[in-house]
Amino acid sequence: MAYAPKMPPGSAFAGLTAARLWKLPLPAYAGSDIRTLEVAARSPRRAPTGTHVRGGQYDPRVTRVVRLRGIPVLSAVDAWCSLAPHLDVADLTAAADHIVAETPDRRVALATAEDLDRALAARWGTRGTVALRRALADVRAPSWSRPESLLRLVLMSAHIPEPMLNHEVTLGSHRFRLDLAWPDVRFGIEYDGDQHRDVREFAHDIRRQELIQDTAWGLMRVTRADLFDRPRELVERVSLRLADRGCRVSAVDLRHLVIPRR
């Protein structure tokens, strides 16, 4: 990053800039202008200024600066804390899910939920901590993507029983993972992102679905439009599918439904 050599001593990238460096999942509404850099100075030094620079400060008593690929940046935990002004509670949860996840692509989590909790305790009473605390209550380590996190939050906000995440199903020599699953009633949900539009990926998905259904599992596929444009209809469909398979679903309550933003 070209600006890094020009940064004042003790400064570090923060906010959305830090989140991008850590590859945290960010929604479109957070903005896509990567030219504007968020840079925080070590308090009590003055916030940096300049063209395309949004300056701030960090408290060295509670904030840790690390070097990521040679660039000074707030730690993943502190970067998450600095996202409170930019993201709603659901996306703060999705970002935290990413931090605590161990995925096939990244075997070691960036931090633990306990690390996030300690960071919030040290900041309690400062701006954004109420939203961050609400987000942290719903963090789940096995969530591997923003859509998975948002889908889970939508369903749970309507009192759908909490699913298992990335649940493994075995059929002979085949092993599959379902994004969301209710193993007691053999029902799962797969989120179909843009990568599933590829012809080969589509063919793979069809074969995978048939094999999973051979194990007597029910499988529902959810698209981006289902999640972001029709969340109420989505909840009702999932509730009916679960009830059909014998799951006790209490009365669905849409009064506090999480409405995800693109």
The mean per-residue pLDDT over the stretch 59-84 comes to 96
CA distances from 96 to 112, 146, 158, 249 (A): 9, 10, 21, 28
Tell me, what amino acid is at 223?
Answer: T
pLDDT at 199: 56
CA 115/CA 44 separation, integer angstroms? 25
Domains and CATH numbers, the chain: 4-136 (no CATH), 146-244 (3.40.960.10)
Kindly tell me the burial class for residue 130, based on how many C-beta atoms sit within 10 Å of its own C-beta (0-12, 13-18, 19 or more).
Answer: middle
pLDDT at 196 over 50: no
17-31, 59-73, 173-187, 220-234: least confident range: 173-187
Bridge partners for 220 per DSSP: 189
Query: How high does pLDDT run on average in the chain?
Result: 91
159, 188 contact by CB (below 8 A)? no
Backbone dihedral region for residue 162 (phi beyond 0: left; psi -120 to 50: alpha; all else: beta): beta
Query: What is the pTM for the complete model shown?
Result: 0.91
The DSSP secondary structure of 128-142, one letter per residue, reads THHHHHHHHTT--TT
Local confidence band at 223 (pLDDT 50, 70, 90 cut-offs): very high
Q: What is the pLDDT of residues 83-110, one digit of tens each?
A: 999 999 999 999 999 999 998 878 899 9
152, 165 contact by CB (below 8 A)? yes
Who contacts 33 (Cβ-Cβ below 8 Å, separation ≥6)?
A: none
Contacts from 101-105 at CB under 8 Å and sequence distance 24+? 101/141, 101/142, 101/143, 101/144, 102/141, 103/144
77-91, 157-171, 206-220: least confident range: 206-220
pLDDT at 15: 96
Question: Which position has the token pair 């029910």?
Answer: 218
pLDDT at 203 over 70: no
Where is 39: in which H helix or E strand? Answer: strand 37-42
50-59, 102-111, 138-147, 220-229: least confident range: 102-111
The mean per-residue pLDDT over the stretch 104-130 comes to 93
pLDDT at 43 over 80: yes
pLDDT at 197: 57
249, 156 contact by CB (below 8 A)? no
